[in-house]
């Protein structure tokens, strides 16, 4: 292998830049050239390639977003588009590709691998929802961003004795909501993986009110229902005014945490090693603190499971 390419795809995540840097530096360490593909799979199809030398990834380890930009490109499912992408890669003398993204991005990487072009996937998404790895790049930063925001909301909720609903990201996965809830001491956490009853939330609010507690924070993952909708339901049911804050895309931005930078460095280097060993169709991840690799298909054919013990714990601690 003489030349590899790297792209970022899907929703961006803090730490993607640190992962790009790790891929470029590790490859150059082994005297392999690297090409950056801009705009994810769309750029792969349109031939948006630029060489990445050592200097091109200087000063990005601490930057949020992705210097390679990202795009959602559902058309990449089409075979003709995949063939064109491979043709573009081969024309540049590239013989391996690192894809940094979520499970949708992994499907594209597997399709190319099955067509004879080796790809390795690095988990980059704030949602922490890729089966086979305990952590994804960006999750820790997003979690800290959400916790910081909720700490601030709690200050004003306490001063004014308000009940707040805070909607966090996570269309299919409750990890951000769950971890944020535990870290910020939220009274209630709602995640897509666990059913809930409105009456339980009402009972909790009433129990706290009876104890003299006049403020409350309810965290809802966007995949459960929009925070404003939940707010309306609870207002109608309790007669209490509910404030709603939607944290939104702020959770995807900002400088990556130290943990995300280190994770990105470890996983980026491993991805290059796998390509050098001629191993395509692999995903890299973390299991029991160690870097692991596994079949890319495992990442998208299995369903991510939130840690139910954390859900139970959050209920116990916010009794
Ligand atoms: O996958 C990351 C994520 O931030 C999800 O949590 C969220 O549902 C989604 O992306 C939002 O994507 P978009 O910005 O494309 O609407």
The per-residue pLDDT for range 235-279, each reduced to its tens digit, is 999 999 999 999 999 999 999 999 999 999 999 999 999 999 999
Q: Residues 93, 266: contact at Cβ < 8 Å?
A: no
Mean pLDDT (the chain, rounded): 96
Does residue 237 fall inside a structural domain? Answer: yes
H/E run at residue 261: helix 258-276
Statement to judge: residues 276 and 143 lie in one domain? no
Q: What are phi and psi of 179, to 5 degrees?
A: -70, -40
What residue ranges in 27-96 does DSSP mark as E strands?
33-37, 49-51
- State the CB neighbour count (10 A cutoff) for residue 25: 18
Does residue 146 fall inside a structural domain? Answer: yes
Q: Which residues line ligand 1 (CB under 6 A)?
A: 11, 72, 102, 125-127, 169-171, 222, 252
The CATH number of the domain holding residue 247 is: 3.40.50.460
Statement to judge: residues 125 and 273 lie in one domain? yes
The CATH number of the domain holding residue 11 is: 3.40.50.450
Share of the chain above pLDDT 90, in %: 92
The per-residue pLDDT for range 88-99, each reduced to its tens digit, is 999 999 999 999
Select from 141, 171, 304 the residue to mutate for testing ligand 1; criterion: most ligand atoms less than 8 Å from CB: 171
| Structural domain ending residue among the three candidates 252, 270, 289 | 252
The per-residue pLDDT for range 199-223, each reduced to its tens digit, is 999 998 888 888 888 789 999 999 9
Domain limits at 110?
3-138+256-301
Statement to judge: residues 115 and 34 lie in one domain? yes
Residue 169 CA, ligand 1 centroid: distance in Å: 7
Closest CA relative to residue 14, chosen from 316, 318, 257, 271 = 257
């Amino acid at each position: 292998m003489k030349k590899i390419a790297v792209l970022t795809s899907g929703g961006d995540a803090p730490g993607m830049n640190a992962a790009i840097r790790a891929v470029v530096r590790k490859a150059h360490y082994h005297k392999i050239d690297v090409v950056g593909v801009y705009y994810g799979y769309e750029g792969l199809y349109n031939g948006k390639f630029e060489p990445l030398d050592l200097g091109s990834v200087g000063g990005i380890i601490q930057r949020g977003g992705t210097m390679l930009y990202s795009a959602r490109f559902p058309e990449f499912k089409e075979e003709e588009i995949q063939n064109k992408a491979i043709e573009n890669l081969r024309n540049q003398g590239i013989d391996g590709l690192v894809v940094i993204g979520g499970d949708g991005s992994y499907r594209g990487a597997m399709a190319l691998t099955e067509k004879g072009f080796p790809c390795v996937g690095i988990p980059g998404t704030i949602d922490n929802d890729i089966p086979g790895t305990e952590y994804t790049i960006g999750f820790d930063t997003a979690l800290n961003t959400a916790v910081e925001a909720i700490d601030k909301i709690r200050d004003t909720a306490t001063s004014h004795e308000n009940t707040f609903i805070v909607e966090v990201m996570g269309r299919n996965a409750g990890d951000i909501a769950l971890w944020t809830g535990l870290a910020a001491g939220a009274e209630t956490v709602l995640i897509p993986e666990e059913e809930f009853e409105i009456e339980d939330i009402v009972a909790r609010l009433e129990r706290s009110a009876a104890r003299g507690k006049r403020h409350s924070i309810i965290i809802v993952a966007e995949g459960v229902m929009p925070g404003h909708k939940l707010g309306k339901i609870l207002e109608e049911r309790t007669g209490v005014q509910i404030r709603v804050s939607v944290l939104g895309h702020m959770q995807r931005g900002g400088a990556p945490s130290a943990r995300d930078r280190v994770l990105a460095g470890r996983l980026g280097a491993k991805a290059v090693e796998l390509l050098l060993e001629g191993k395509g169709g692999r995903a890299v991840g973390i299991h029991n603190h160690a870097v692991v690799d596994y079949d890319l298909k495992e990442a998208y054919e299995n369903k991510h499971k939130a840690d139910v013990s954390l859900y139970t714990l959050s209920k116990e601690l916010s009794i």
